[in-house]
Homo-oligomer: A and B are copies of this chain.
Amino acid sequence: MQSFDLDKTDISKIKAALSGDDEQLKVILGEYHASEIAILFESLSKEDKQRIINLLDVEIASEVISEMHEESHPEELLLQLHPDKRTEIVEELDYDDATDIISQLEEHEQKEILADLSEDDASSIRNLLSYHEETAGGLMNTEFIRVNLNLTKKDAIEEIIRQSEEIEEFYTIFVVDDDNVFHGIVSLKDIIKAKGNVKITELVKAEVAWVYPDTDQEEVARLISQYNITSIPVLDKEMKLLGRVTFDDVIDVLEDENTEDILKISGVSEDEELSGNWLEAVKSRLPWLILNLGTAFLASSVVRHYDDTIKLITILPAYMTIIAGMGGNAATQALAVTVRRISLYDLTDSQAYRTVLKEFTVGLINGACTGAIVFIVALYFDSNPMLGLVIFLAMTGNLLIAGITGAGIPLALKRIGIDPAIASSIIITTFTDVFGFLLLLGLASHLLL
Contact = CB atoms under 8 A, between A and B. Distances in A.
A329 B429 CA distance: 10
Chain A binding surface SS class: helix
A265 B262 contact: yes
Interface stretch (A53-61, A83-91, A174-182, A269-277): A269-277
A38 to B, nearest CB: 9
Contact of A289 (B36, B320, B321, B330): B330
B248 A285 contact: no
Contacts of A289: 326, 329-330, 333, 366, 369-370
Contacts of A219: 5
A278 B362 contact: yes
Given A290-B370, A303-B321, A192 B314 contact: no
A298 B313 CA distance: 20
This chain: how many copies in the complex?
A: 2
Contacts of A209: 1, 4
A157 interface: yes
Contacts of A227: 33, 35
Nearest to A395: B293
Interface string A167-203: 0001100000000000000001100110000000000
Nearest to A350: B43
A248 B262 contact: no
Contact of A262 (B11, B189, B299, B339): B339
A309 to B, nearest CB: 10
A266 B255 CA distance: 19
A67 B69 CA distance: 32
Interface stretch (A119-127, A132-140, A341-349): A341-349
Given A289-B369, A292-B329, A293-B370, 13 more contacts: A247-B251, A254-B255, A258-B340, A262-B340, A266-B335, A278-B361, A278-B365, A281-B359, A281-B362, A289-B326, A289-B333, A299-B325, A310-B317
